[in-house]
Structure 1
Amino acid sequence: MSLTLPKRPLGKTGLDVSLLGLGGFHQVEVTQDTIEAVVDRYLTAGGNYVETATGYGRGASETKLGRALAGRRDQIILATKAQGRTRDAAWQELNESLERLQTDHLDVWFFHNIGNDEHLEATAAPDGALAAFKQAKAEGLVRHIGVSSHWPMMYVKAAERLPIDVALIWGNYLDFCNFPEIPNTVLPALREKGVGVLFMKPLADGFLYRSPRMAFRYAMAQDADGLVSGFNSVEMLEEDLAACCAPTPVSDEEIVDVLRNAPELGTYVCRQCRNCTVLNNGSALKRIFELEGKVDRQMDSRRPVNAAEYALRERLKGWFGTKARAQDAYETTTPSAEQLLEFELAPCRYGIDIPRKLRLAHSKLARSGRIELL
């Protein structure tokens, strides 16, 4: 059966992007021949969004993709990212990116990982990277400006300070449990400004490898214009295509089923239910588990797993680097996990052992003192 990717408008850019985008992070791990086979199949299926960054393999991803896309520039929406915070650093990155990608312009140029207020202030300063972005757009070297981050509320701040057309933010059923402010606050704020939204990490950096179809179907149903995935083999791409090209729309029942049955959530990850069954007002409880998720994505349940699963969790749990921020927030959070243990706690609909999880969350979040699990 022939698979053709649907397209969606990318905010107010005037661009129509394929639902599945090709992310460049993992292209540094495979040979040029493999990348070219992946690109060929992706374009054949109607894919048209290719995104990379100068920081991926110190330019190796851009170089490989530039070779694979040679002669086909007019078929794609091409994006890359710059890490430099000053005008001169960003301008140098742009010229190097254009050379490696074998093109004379970018469709989207991203500020890469505006992670905190200091990054934002440096970027927006008179001699900051923003000056280079504006000049590049004025000269036709860049059509649209984007932003990425690893801290959700920085997207809201960036959209207030910078002329953002596109936001690249993570979206998957695991991390929406850890960063509920993304669907609840960040996405509505971006949409109010007409910003296009692309989801990265639809498989949570590979953690959802057991459930690719489930993960893509969930992400497709959220408020995003496209999903950028790091497939680096034709076999992986075919799985992603099958999910994204499915003829039936995602139903509410499917979303409920994901939250109920996803093996990665199991009987440990808090789903951030709007109608919590544990407490009449579950907001305090959900806040504790949200902060726990910002420490380690709720990946450390202190339950035995096999060696490969343990290694994967250890590699991914600190990916966003938000542990210190979560611990800072916990210091002023009331009631604390310890205090919530004194409440009358009803059973969780997902079978989570709430008292045990509260003790474990406290042990992760409290900078001094620990609680025994049993």
Structure 2
Amino acid sequence: MRYRRFGKTQLNLSVFSLGTMRFASAQVAHQVLSAAIAQGINHIETARSYGQSETWIGQALKAGVGVARSQLVLTSKVAPNPDEAAVERQLEESLTRLGVDCLDCVAVHGLNTPQHLDWVLASQGTLAVLRRAQADGRVRHIGFSTHGPLAVIEGAIASDAFAFVNLHYSYFFQRNVVAVAQAAARDIGIFIISPADKGGLLYTPPDRLKALCAPYDPLLLTYRWLLSDPRITTLSLGPAVPEELDWPLQVADSTDPLTPDEQAAFARLAQQQAEQLGTDRCSQCYQCLPCPEEIHIPEVLRLRNLAVAYGMSDFGEYRYRMFEQAGHWFPGRRGDRCTDCGDCLPRCPEQLDIPTLLRDTHERLKGPARRRLWD
């Protein structure tokens, strides 16, 4: 296992972190924690919203996981909220459940909208509570976790209020590369979240993607793409059982620059996308937004890019079904909401037939119809 400095926190984190959302029981939580720590992971990431995760981690730490508490970095989260009393309750509940007096890191969880950012940065609100907790020793470092648009992420980084960021960024979603650069320039620690699941369902890659990446495994190759970037401190893993650590941790000491053969594999992926999509390829410039119908055009077309080029239709369906279902965690409406208003067309530098591509994406990724109860 390699370790990297987590920006201005000065903490040295393992390049893989243990995400704890998928634990099914206290016993399994203890087993996974012990196995992860035995393999060199020293960063444990949880949240109040992860079911019983905090409680089970607290029980495991009390029972013993092979190392002292002082050798671990423990992160939890609080939601953005203008009500200071509510934030204080969240923090105290997390400390109680985890059975600790101090959290190494606390992230503002789901800083996804301009309103959330306003709440957090206001003189009274989430950040004020966390700063007081930092002053009295209950919190060491404050950061934020986001699924939000780039403009919100840039605003949070520019505020200089945070020491680290939990960020979505992967080979198949490079929109946030600007945020990576900005965070690194301000010495903000960078924690990449869900690079396997939301990065492409890479635990179950389609055959076409496997063939293009060969002789490399798509999951491990894309992990290598992230680990080769020295600006990135750590990547999240979310095992449900100890055995699920073994596959990704094969590259836990592979942080060197990409080899020529690895670079050739990524060149094949780029060539495949260009050849398969031709003039229908969306380059993700985002100039088509805003859409009068609130369709997240670039994200819809990104999912189409991946399905057409690499056969990543299962991933496309998984994400496409989230439109209109997940609020600020995954904003935007489905492609079939297009009314052919044409507002986006003159703003597209590639002159894509966006309405046609939106409808095509809907047909490809809407998935099978679900029976209604009264049918």
Normalising to structure 1: TM-score of the pair?
0.74
Could you tell me which residue of structure 2 aligns to residue 7 of structure 1? 3
Q: Secondary structure at the match of 2:22?
A: helix
Could you tell me which residue of structure 1 aligns to residue 102 of structure 2? 105
Gaps of 5+ in 1: 271-276, 342-354, 366-374
Give CA-to-partner distance per residue, 1:36-59, whole Å, 9 cap, x none.
1211111111110001111122xx
Looking at structure 2, the residues matched to 105 and 241 of structure 1 have their Cα atoms a distance apart, in angstroms, of 29
CA RMSD of aligned residues (A): 3.9
Could you tell me which residue of structure 2 aligns to residue 78 of structure 1? 74
Could you tell me which residue of structure 1 aligns to residue 53 of structure 2? 61
Q: Secondary structure at the match of 2:131?
A: helix
Does residue 171 (structure 1) correspond to residue 169 (structure 2)? The answer is: yes
- 5 Å-filtered alignment, 1:81-96, equals 81-85=77-81, 86-96=83-93
Looking at structure 2, the residues matched to 247 and 110 of structure 1 have their Cα atoms a distance apart, in angstroms, of 26
- 5 Å-filtered alignment, 1:112-123, equals 112-123=109-120
Looking at structure 1, the residues matched to 43 and 118 of structure 2 have their Cα atoms a distance apart, in angstroms, of 30
The answer to whether the 8 A contact 1:11-1:166 is kept is yes
Could you tell me which residue of structure 2 aligns to residue 187 of structure 1? 180
More off after superposition, 12-21 vs 220-229: 220-229
Aligned with residue 19 of structure 1, among 15, 19, 25:
15
Could you tell me which residue of structure 1 aligns to residue 208 of structure 2? none
The answer to whether the 8 A contact 2:105-2:142 is kept is yes
Could you tell me which residue of structure 2 aligns to residue 245 of structure 1? 253
Give CA-to-partner distance per residue, 1:212-257, whole Å, 9 cap, x none.
2122112212331111121222221011111223486532541441
The answer to whether the 8 A contact 2:78-2:91 is kept is yes
Q: CA deviation at 1:324?
A: 5.4
Could you tell me which residue of structure 2 aligns to residue 298 of structure 1? 303
The answer to whether the 8 A contact 1:296-1:323 is kept is no
The one-letter code matched in structure 1 to 2:225 is Y
Looking at structure 1, the residues matched to 253 and 243 of structure 2 have their Cα atoms a distance apart, in angstroms, of 15
Q: CA deviation at 1:193?
A: 1.4
Looking at structure 2, the residues matched to 129 and 200 of structure 1 have their Cα atoms a distance apart, in angstroms, of 22
- Provide closer, same or farther for how the CA distance between residues 49 and 288 of structure 1 changes in structure 2, counting only shifts above 3 A: same
The one-letter code matched in structure 1 to 2:46 is T
Q: Secondary structure at the match of 2:40?
A: coil
Matched residue pairs, number? 328
More off after superposition, 316-325 vs 13-22: 316-325
Q: CA deviation at 1:332?
A: 5.8
Looking at structure 2, the residues matched to 98 and 260 of structure 1 have their Cα atoms a distance apart, in angstroms, of 48
Looking at structure 2, the residues matched to 257 and 136 of structure 1 have their Cα atoms a distance apart, in angstroms, of 47
The answer to whether the 8 A contact 1:84-1:93 is kept is no
Looking at structure 2, the residues matched to 192 and 247 of structure 1 have their Cα atoms a distance apart, in angstroms, of 20
Looking at structure 2, the residues matched to 216 and 19 of structure 1 have their Cα atoms a distance apart, in angstroms, of 10
Q: CA deviation at 1:160?
A: 2.8
Could you tell me which residue of structure 1 aligns to residue 332 of structure 2? 323
Looking at structure 2, the residues matched to 190 and 162 of structure 1 have their Cα atoms a distance apart, in angstroms, of 10
The answer to whether the 8 A contact 1:62-1:100 is kept is yes
The answer to whether the 8 A contact 1:73-1:103 is kept is no
Could you tell me which residue of structure 2 aligns to residue 224 of structure 1? 232
Could you tell me which residue of structure 1 aligns to residue 135 of structure 2? 138
The answer to whether the 8 A contact 1:23-1:231 is kept is yes
Gaps of 5+ in 2: 206-217, 290-295, 363-375
The one-letter code matched in structure 1 to 2:351 is L
- Provide closer, same or farther for how the CA distance between residues 306 and 84 of structure 1 changes in structure 2, counting only shifts above 3 A: closer
The answer to whether the 8 A contact 1:20-1:228 is kept is yes
Q: Secondary structure at the match of 1:26?
A: coil
Looking at structure 2, the residues matched to 252 and 112 of structure 1 have their Cα atoms a distance apart, in angstroms, of 38
Give CA-to-partner distance per residue, 1:117-171, whole Å, 9 cap, x none.
1111122223211110110000011110010111233222112335200001012
Normalising to structure 2: TM-score of the pair?
0.74
